[in-house]
A and B are shown apart, each in its own frame.
Chain A
Amino acid sequence: MMSVSALRQITHDRSLFVPAGLFVVLLVAVALRGHGLFTNNGLAGAILVATPLILTALAITPIVMAGRGAVDLSVGPLLGFINVTLITWLVGNGITNPVAIIGWAVGLGAVFQLIQALVIIYVRVAPIIVTLSGFLVLSGLNLMVMSRPGGVAPDWMLTWGAGTSVFSPVLLLLVAAYALWGVLRSTMFYRNLRMTGADERMAYTSGVQVDVIRIIAHVVGGAFAGLAALSYTALISSGDPTQGSTYTLQAVTALVLGGASLSGGRGGALGSTLGAINMFLISYLLSTFNFGTVSGFVTQMAFGLILIGSLLVNVFVISRRSVA
């Protein structure tokens, strides 16, 4: 049933044309390369590896949608912060209760984003600057909490990273995120969020509680970041102070590949998911070629070119719509 409504969304919202088209093209290409993605293990692994990125992209989706050019640069280090505190402060002190761990991850993400939202709203500094600050502060803190990768995830989480079954707890994290988003989407919050992002002054004067909307957007984004951190912790079964940061630009890229507008108002979970999956597929596809010693460089270049190409195509699709 989810796929039906997803299909309707794709045919309805033209900003999803390009990501959906790219998705199909990539799937076909991967299939033609004849590798093992379409097996139980292949899919399980794909879910395992792609979920942190998908969830991180989801985490910035409501925040970007809320407008003011709110590209959340801090989300990567936030992922890392949740990861290292989870491993060092909780597991390191013998707290391995799943409820505590999940609560900590989701709660910490939400609280941090709440703080950022309050600074954005009440100190009134542009979001990109606030989140740049968050990026630097958390990147530093992460290394202070854990100077180098290490530690182990709690025992019950170790099996999560096995990636041998499509229906794994990691998938559950993803489902949980979609469920939360689905609930929000079915309420007026989604429309309010869109309107706030599209023109905040209009929304404000029309009686939308823009501050409340912005706070909720951030808190929800923070909760998603918590889920992303859990899936990331499951993936590496340990703590890592620096790698989380690399997710910032990846997530923003996924978001944009998914057809969202960085200036707010346009975007959604489906687009971000497609964007993230496409990024995964691109890297999957490129590793099926054996470029030998230059493989890393070819991957980087090809990735850049695909990014440019799909952004350009997106422009044509979307601008044609507004002309029509």
Chain B
Amino acid sequence: MNREITIRLADVAKSFGETKALKKCDFEAHAGEVHAIVGENGSGKSTMAKIMSGVLHPDSGTVSILGEKVNSPIDAKKIGLTTIFQEVLVADEASVFENLFVGRDGVFKSQSGGGDRRAEANEILTRLVGKSVDLDQMVGGLPLSIKQWIVIARAMLRRPRVLILDESSAALDLDSTIRLHEEIDRLRREGATVLIVTHRIAELVRIADRATILRDGVTVGTLQKHEITEENLLSMMTPPDRRASDVKEYASKNRAIAEVSVMTAKNMVAQRTSAPFDFDLPKGSIVGVAGLDGQGQDAFVRALVGIMRPFGGDVLVRSAETGKMVEIATLEDAASAGISYVSGDRKREGIFPQQSIFENLAIGVYRKNLGPMGIIRKPTLKPMFKREVDRLRIKIGSPSNKITSLSGGNQQKVLIGRAFANDPQVIVLNDPARGVDLGTKRDLYRELRAFVEKGGSVIYLSSEIEEFIGFADRVDVFFAGRLFRSLSGDHIAEEPILAAMFGKSENASVEFDLERSA
């Protein structure tokens, strides 16, 4: 294997005002390796990636990529470094084709590298997405996963010598992740250096050759492939004082599920052409929702909370007061029936970036505290805020600081707090742990468990199978736009869930090889 050192960071530090994002960062990566960067939310991974890409300049320390200094994305382009940033950067008003080749040329001159760009684009997109994509359509109307693919394809088309992926699999489903891994593997074989930032431990174990761990802006060590285990990672990522916790604190006690259902859907059609199905949510249970991307589970969850109308069928929920089933057609119906919704896409659907932490949490309950003329009764809000912050162990400074002063994970907790604060009877979560670190995830699981134990009910959509195991009471797997199979008890395990996700019958073995990409 080629052992040439392609990336070297020595003693790099970077602050944003008061915040020391990176304190002492030392890092090396070789040609021909996949090197993971791991750490809790806010530990500085993205900052590190941005410094290597030339987007940010370090305050001190040296950075050398392929022997060069990189001061801007233009420098990066010149030496063959490409970064896929954590945020999916596409231009909605431009065509797929334009999005793929943006930045490839000079200000005036075309950098014609020979070859037919369209053919090349077609080929790579077909390979990545798994089906062909119209290059001339506007990107704006495409689903997030396709946008993510476009960004990945844009990087791959440049045949990078160094590729950095910052949580690029977060918006991809399992099947897609495997295709991504194939690409990464190919690059590795061609001698490129690939850095991946991810919170998905399983993914990391599968593909990384080495992993460097960041803790509070300091690189605390590098693990070789055989050392990459959940325990090792956790013990290095978390500061010593936070380690001694009960990992299974949140675990399901495998209780029998109650008979009463709080929510039902009859003859629901989630996608325009798919078959109708029924759904019910038993009181006091956690129901997981799984499925490959675009199999209808997302539309289903949105229909449950009234964000969109299903193509057919009704959603009914048991009214907390009367005990009767009432229909949900709009967000207001859902809200007044005591259904709270938490989106995983917090940047777009969750936070109000210019507002304070307090406002971000409290805005969810204003509606319930209105006096005459829509005047908000404020006195009740402060205790509520304190309760939620304590409950979720949200790490905040002053409540009047802006929400953006929190790390992504803590922002997510504020949003979950917003959902809890309404005293809902059902919480619907749409991939809430996307890009959230392990510790935060566990806080979340524990609280949801506590919530159902007090009689609440939870619908939990996730793109990571691991999340369900030992946590969900039932997992509903979607395939071809409908609820394909409900799994419970011992069936809540990786193999059966995967099988269902691929539309296989219960006993068939899962054909594709998880280790194929390793």
Contact = CB atoms under 8 A, between A and B. Distances in A.
A322 B93 CA distance: 9
B85 A199 contact: no
A199 to B, nearest CB: 4
Contacts of A206: 73, 77, 89, 102-104, 154
B93 A261 contact: yes
Interface in A179-229: 187-189, 191-192, 194-195, 198-199, 201-209, 212-213, 216
B93 to A, nearest CB: 4
B107 A189 contact: yes
A294 interface: no
Contacts of B107: 188-189, 192, 209, 212-213, 216
B141 interface: yes
B76 A199 contact: no
Given A188-B107, A213-B107, A322-B141, A199 B90 contact: yes
A265 interface: yes
A203 B154 CA distance: 12
A231 B149 CA distance: 49
A202 B108 contact: no
Nearest to A263: B93
A216 B92 CA distance: 23
B174 to A, nearest CB: 27
B90 A207 contact: no
B251 interface: no
A191 B98 contact: yes
B83 A188 contact: no
Interface in B28-63: 53, 55
Contact of B102 (A203, A261, A266): A203
Interface in A24-79: none
A195 B102 contact: yes
A204 to B, nearest CB: 6
Instruction: Label chain A's interface by main secondary structure.
Output: helix
A190 to B, nearest CB: 10
A321 interface: yes
A206 to B, nearest CB: 3
Contacts of B92: 198-199
Contact of B108 (A189, A199, A203, A322): A189
A323 interface: yes
A152 B77 CA distance: 54
A266 B105 contact: no
A207 B74 contact: yes
Interface string A237-271: 00000000000000000000000010011100000
A194 B94 contact: yes
Contact of A187 (B83, B85, B94, B109): B109
Contacts of B91: 195, 198-199, 202-203, 265
B372 to A, nearest CB: 38
Contacts of A205: 53, 55, 73, 83, 85, 89, 103
A188 B73 contact: no
A97 B91 CA distance: 47
Contacts of B77: 206-207
A265 B55 contact: no
Contact of B89 (A192, A194, A202, A264): A202
A199 B74 contact: no
A199 B110 CA distance: 20
A191 B108 CA distance: 9
B117 to A, nearest CB: 12
A179 B483 CA distance: 60
A170 B465 CA distance: 69
B455 interface: no
Nearest to B138: A322
A188 B138 contact: no
A213 B105 CA distance: 12
Nearest to A213: B107
Contact of A194 (B73, B90, B98): B98
B90 A202 contact: yes
Contacts of B74: 207, 209
Contacts of A323: 141
A25 B140 CA distance: 31
A265 B83 contact: no
11 contacts: A187-B108, A192-B105, A198-B93, A202-B89, A205-B55, A205-B73, A206-B73, A207-B103, A213-B107, A265-B94, A322-B138
Interface of B: 53, 55, 73-74, 76-77, 83, 85, 87, 89-94, 98-99, 102-110, 138, 140-141, 154
Given A195-B94, A206-B102, A322-B141, 8 more contacts: A188-B108, A198-B93, A199-B89, A199-B90, A199-B92, A207-B73, A207-B74, A207-B103
- Considering the complex of A and B, which 7 residue pairs feature the smallest CB-CB distances, nearest first? A206-B103, A198-B91, A207-B77, A207-B103, A199-B91, A202-B89, A265-B93
